[in-house]
Structure 1
Amino acid sequence: MFVTNQQSRIGWARTRVEPLAELLRRTTGESYVYSHRWGQGDVVGWDNFATLHTALPCDSTCHQRLLYRTSIP
């Protein structure tokens, strides 16, 4: 199950969803969030199975993004 702030409806009763919403609020609080300030040559990696992550809007007319997906068994 994926629980993120990007989903707004999963078809469950509010009483059933509230514990998950509370968990999300606690785990995405400011003290738990890392926000990267990009510089030329930066490389960032993360474990998709162990983190909640998202991308902020990016102005692709000013910045080029190059992404590679790598899986390590």
Structure 2
Amino acid sequence: MLKKDIHPEYGPCQVACACGNRFETRSTLKEIKVAVCSSCHPFYTGKRGAVVIEAGRVEKFQRKYAGTRFGKPAQETEEKEQG
């Protein structure tokens, strides 16, 4: 049994996605904003290459550290250092 007056109110919640999709669920918050939902996520839609705000973090890291030893196999870096 729950103790009285110590738990937040659990009620309807509006979820708004960056793609424009909106749906209702239940939460302790009144509104939740998300970047990806089941309507736009490539796993659920089957579409690859969908525009996602957080996509490309690995590629961004690789561009940022291009020319350094990060992300490259140790064998390649050792050959360059020796040769």
Measured against the shorter chain, the TM-score band is under 0.3
TM-score (norm 1): 0.22
- The answer to which structure, 1 or 2, has the higher relative contact order (CA under 8 A, 6+ apart) is 1
Give the number of the structure whose residues are more often strand, by fraction: 2
TM-score (norm 2): 0.20
